[in-house]
Amino acid sequence: MKGLSNQIIQRFFTKKDIGGEISINDLRDREFGGNKLNAEEKKALSNYDTYRINILNSQESEDDFHNAYRQLQVIANLGDWKEFLKEEYSAA
């Protein structure tokens, strides 16, 4: 699959306590629930959204697209939101 490397995926699945961190989707739920997010949380959401679109747009087949979509859903549900504050996810 183009664009979503095993190294990036493993970063989310090698945590000792997977699911114990606040995720991107947890932030979305808080925001939709009327809670204000701080600047870092908003940046992480924006970076994730940009990353997600770039990954999905880079897929060359329908199967690759669906596989990437499912993997991104898992990352958004289980990955630590702070991961998306890293420079590699920041919009250029």
Global pTM value: 0.77
Work out the pLDDT band at 16, boundaries 50, 70, 90.
very low
Work out the pLDDT band at 21, boundaries 50, 70, 90.
confident
Determine, yes or no, domain membership for 31: yes
Using one digit for the tens of pLDDT, what is the confidence trace for 24-73?
999 999 999 999 999 999 999 999 999 999 999 999 999 999 999 999 99
pLDDT value for 2: 55
What's the half-sphere exposure (Cβ side, CA atoms, 13 Å) at 43? Answer: 13
Determine, yes or no, domain membership for 8: no
| Residue 80 vs residue 10, higher pLDDT | 80
- What's the domain count of the chain? 1
Determine, yes or no, domain membership for 2: no
Determine, yes or no, domain membership for 5: no
Separation CA 58–CA 5 (nearest Å): 12
pLDDT value for 90: 83
Separation CA 9–CA 51 (nearest Å): 13
Determine, yes or no, domain membership for 63: yes
Determine, yes or no, domain membership for 74: yes
Determine, yes or no, domain membership for 32: yes
| Residue 15 vs residue 83, higher pLDDT | 83
Determine, yes or no, domain membership for 7: no
pLDDT value for 30: 93
Alpha helices in 20-61 (DSSP H): 24-32, 39-57
One-letter identity of residue 9: I
The parent domain of residue 52 ranges over 16-89
